[in-house]
Structures are given as C-alpha cells and as structure tokens.
Amino acid sequence: MSHLSVDFNNLKTFVSEKDLEAIKPKILSCHDMLEKAQGPGSFFLGWKNPEISNSVLAETREAAKSVQDQCEVFIVIGIGGSYIGSQAGITFLKSSFPNQLDKKGRPEIYFAGNNISSDYHSDLLDLIDGRDVCLNVISKSGTTTEPAITFRILNEILEKKYGFDKAKQRIIITTDSKKGILNTLANEQGYRKFVIPDDIGGRYSVLSPVGLLPMAVAGIDIEKLISGACVGGRLYSEGLINEAYRYAGFRHLLYQAGKTTEILAVFQPALHHFAEWWKQLVAESEGKELKGIFPSTVEFTKDLHSMGQWIQEGRRTIFETFLILESSNRQLKIPTIENDTDGLNYLSGKTLDYVNDKAFEGTTLAHKDGGVPNLSLKIKDRSPESLGQLFYFFEKATAMAGYLNGINPFDQPGVEMYKNNMFKLLNKPGY
C-alpha cells in the first residue's frame, strides 16, 4: 500500500499528459539505463535496492542501544549527506522538540561538523560540559575538512575526560569498507565501525548505516523505515507508469519551457529538514554542465508573508511542489471566547490542521492563477513507512531527472572547486 499520492492537476494549463506522452520514449530509455546500470555513474546505484540485511539491522539496533545506555548526548559528525538525512528523519518522526520532549531515556542528539564556526562549536562544548557523550563520525574519506576538524576537537575532549581506552568505546565510525583515513583509524584504534556501501554516494545514503544509526539512537523503528522504502522500490520501478517518473517527466517539461527554479513548499515544521535533504539531493545531482533546475525551499504559512509575494508576482521562471502531510500525530482545536475580541469565533472548534489545509488550498489556487505551475505530493502520516517511501520517491525521481537532462546525477565535481582554493589559501601540503 502506498503512503504517498501525487496530484498533477494544477499543471494542466502549463504542461499536459499529451506532452508527457511525447517524451515517453526518452523516459523509457532512461529507465533502461537505470535498471540495466548502463548510464553515467552507474556504479553508484546501490540505493536502488533499499533492503538491508538482518545482520546489519541487528548490529545497528545493538549499537544504538549501547549509545542509549551510556550517553546523555549523542553527537553526529558529518556534512551533506552524512548528516542531513538522519536529521530529516528525526525531525519528521519525533516531536517538534526531540531533545526536550519524547526522550524516554534516550540521549539528546546534536549535529556538528557541518560548518567551521567557532561560536557554534564553542556553544556545543558548553552544552556537553559535564555530560556523558558519544560520537558518530561519518565520512567515506575521513579527510573532509569540516567533520575532520570537529572530530579532532571532540576526540581530544573525550580522551581527556575518559582516557583513551574508554573514549574509544564511545566513538562509532561510519566510513568506507576498505580505504580512507577513518577506515584506517577505526582498524588501528579499535573503534566500532559501520560501512558505507561502496556503490552508494553520500546524498543517496540516508537508508544505509549513515542515516539508520542516528535514527535508531533516536528510537525510530528503522525496520519500518526500510519497509516503506521497499514499497517505494516496488512502486517506482516501471517506466512512465509510476508517479516518481511522472513527476520527473513533468519537471523536465517545465524546465524545457523555461521554468528553471523549483520551490519545494512545506506547511509543517516537521518537514523542515526533509526539505533541506531534498535541496541537497537535487542540487548536487542536477546542477552541472551549466544545466539543472535550481532547488529552493519555503516553509508556509510563515514564508507566505515574505517569499509568498515574490512567488505570486515575481518572475515567471518558477514552479512549485507542495509537500503536504495528510494526518498529524495530534490535533489542537481553536477555543471559543465569549466576547470574540479577536474575531476568531468563526473558527471555534476547528483544528489548526483544518486552517492549515485551507491555507494550502488557497495558496495553490492563488499561485496557479498567478502563473505558477504547481503540483502536490501528499504524505499519509508521520510514520517510518511513509518517510521511507518518501525518501525513495525523490531518490528515484532525481536519478531519472538527471538522465533526462543528459547528465550524471551521481557525481559532484563542482564541490571540489572551493576545497582546492581553500586548501591553497590554508597552505595545505600538496596544494
């Protein structure tokens, strides 16, 4: 059973089913490249089969339990795909304030190594002072500057506090199976190690140990998450028939028509970090060879009071994908007050979600009337199964979008440019 549904009706005046049918041969060709591993970057298709062995799941659960038992704070050190997927999962599946509510004996979880800010990391050190800490360092190479610096700082603190032997029991390395500094370090020092599959790139790694371990520490049922992804694997495996390919196809048609920016709009704070995960997935996958749709995100209704103006009346080079949660975990009703001083009694007894839904419906109509094509992707609920399918939907659609545009959606050569310049400026040996 699908946990997602897609509504393309607000695209009809901009692109049609007939237009989509016209590019069906191209979609089928790209589908064959994905299925037969014959396209650019085909080595990195390990994400296509989201199934995880029972042994890896069991080891992940056991490691998560060990962290829960001995730590008050769990710090995930990584950048890009090494952290943002698990952060998206925790934000979506836990409470709005997971480090303050819904802990139930589990550690607070923080993310570091995704910036080079003295203030951020100093504040983090203040926060963990006097508390029991565990680390999960995530990097294939181990040489990425941001997480490497953070690990050096935090590792020194742990070794001073616990001594080397006890400190290493609080450190989990998630890295390459055979090569890289972190792999060597884990083997030499005896750190517990999880393997990032060779055939899965960073931004496609959320359903591997990269994302599963932090989510398991947070108390998320990772088996159900994988189960939802496997549903996606079955649903989004046929050319043009499935919704992921239809989404990719309509995006391609809009891009060809001059719609060069896609805005992913969410109406729930629980989807905030998921939108950030999506932004990285799309940007690194599609933005190359002077091609690609620019991914942007907004959080409504807040951004309707800022970005909403630009979307309604700015340049017509955009389209929107609304990411909508159909069922919240809890409902809160608007009370009645006797004198109705705020004029809100017409909403008495209505839930906040009811009002939010009408804001969504009103926004889609306004933006369509304003010349902005839009579509809606609805998520059944805040369950691991829904999230797993959602992750897979966008992974498959993004891979298809890259092939439709004639680029390799699995590399990121442009990311290396800033690094080379930074290393030269820092006088790093060899640069």
Inter-residue contact 252 to 413 (CB < 8 Å): no
Identify whether residues 324 and 230 lie together within a single domain. yes
Percent with pLDDT over 70 in the chain:
100
Query: Which CATH number fits the domain that encloses residue 202?
Result: 3.40.50.10490
The answer on 309 and 210 residing in a single domain is: no
Q: Which of 325, 259, 283, 238 is nearest to 409 (CA)?
A: 283
Domain stops at, among 202, 220, 238: 220
Whether residues 257 and 194 share a domain: the answer is no
Ranking 126-130, 180-184, 264-268, 417-421 by mean pLDDT, the lowest is 417-421
In a domain, residue 363? The reply is: yes
User: In which region does residue 300 sit, left (phi positive, over 0), alpha (psi from -120 to 50) or beta (all else)?
Assistant: beta
Residue 410, domain member (yes or no): no
The residue-averaged pLDDT of 281-296 equals 96
pLDDT digits over 107-122, tens only? 999 999 999 999 999 9
Which of residues 274 and 412 earns the better pLDDT score?
274
In whole angstroms, give the CA distance from residue 196 to residue 202.
9
Structural domain includes residue 11: yes
Please tell me the total count of domains within the chain.
2
Confidence check: pLDDT of 416 > 80? no
Q: Would residue 416 count as lying in a domain?
A: no
- Residue 281 and residue 363 in one domain: yes
Helix 84-93 × helix 272-286 angle, to 10°: 150
Which position has the higher pLDDT, 101 or 49? Answer: 49
The encoded tokens of residue 280 equal 């990285």
Over the stretch 357-389, which tens digit does the pLDDT of each residue have? Answer: 999 999 999 999 999 999 999 999 999 999 999
Alpha-carbon distance of 201 to 222, in angstroms, equals: 20
Give a yes or no: residue 425 inside a domain.
no
Confidence of residue 15 (pLDDT cuts 50, 70, 90): very high
In this structure, the dihedral spanned by the alpha carbons of residues 340, 342, 348 and 352, taken in order and rounded to 10 degrees, is -170
DSSP letter string over 26-37?
HHHHHHHHHHTT
Residue 268 has pLDDT above 80, yes or no: yes
Would the pLDDT of 294 be above 90? yes
Same domain, residue pair 186 and 157 = yes
The backbone torsions φ and ψ at residue 301, rounded to the nearest 5 degrees and listed phi first, read: -90, -10
Q: Which residue has the higher pLDDT, 417 or 243?
A: 243
- Whether residues 174 and 232 fall in one domain: no
Other Cβ atoms less than 10 A from the Cβ of 344: the count is 14
Which DSSP helix (H) or strand (E) runs through 324? strand 318-325
Q: Both 129 and 167 in a single domain?
A: yes
Q: Compute the distance between CA of residue 219 and CA of residue 34 in angstroms, rounded to an integer.
A: 34
Residue 33 has pLDDT above 90, yes or no: yes
Q: Is there a single domain that holds both residue 210 and residue 267?
A: no
Q: Which amino acid makes up residue 411?
A: D
CA distance 9 to 19: 14
34 and 51 assigned to the same domain: no
Residue 326 in any domain: the answer is: yes
Do the domain assignments include residue 431?
Answer: no
Provide the pLDDT for residue 420.
Answer: 81
| Contacts of residue 85, Cβ cutoff 8 Å, sequence gap at least 6 | 205, 206, 207, 210, 211, 277, 391
How sure is the predictor about 239, in pLDDT bands with cuts at 50, 70 and 90?
A: confident
- What are the structure tokens assigned to 279, written together? 């932004």
Please report the pLDDT score of residue 428 as a whole number.
85
pLDDT at residue 291 in the model: 96
Q: Is the pLDDT of residue 5 over 80?
A: yes
Task: State the DSSP code for 288.
Answer: B
pLDDT value at 205 more than 90: yes
Residue 30 in tokens: 């790209």
Domain stop point among 220, 252, 270: 220
Measured in degrees and rounded to the nearest 5, phi and psi for residue 194 equal -115, 145
Tell me the pLDDT of the chain averaged across its residues: 94
197 lies in which domain range? 46-220
Last-in-domain residue among 188, 220, 252: 220
Residues 142, 244, single domain; the answer is: no
Residues 58, 13: one domain?
Answer: no
Computed on alpha carbons and rounded to an integer, the radius of gyration of the chain in Å comes to: 23
Indicate the pLDDT class of residue 13, thresholds 50, 70 and 90.
very high
Residue 14 lies in a domain: yes
101 burial type by CB count under 10 A (0-12 exposed, 13-18 middle, 19+ buried): exposed
Residue 302's contacts (CB-CB under 8 Å, 6 or more residues apart) are none
Stated pTM of the model: 0.95
Per-residue confidence (pLDDT) for residue 426, from 0 to 100: 77
| Residue 105 confidence (pLDDT) | 82
Residue 292 in contact with residue 345, Cβ under 8 Å? Answer: no
> What would the pLDDT profile of 131-177 be if each residue is shown by its tens digit?
999 999 999 888 888 999 999 999 999 999 999 999 999 999 999 98
> Which of the residues are catalytic?
284, 305, 419
Q: Looking at the structure, tell me whether residues 100 and 231 fall in a common domain.
A: no
Of 162-176, 192-206, 359-373, 409-423, the poorest mean pLDDT is in: 409-423
The sign of the CA dihedral 409, 387, 47, 81 is: positive
pLDDT at 225: 98
Give the pLDDT of residue 240. Answer: 81
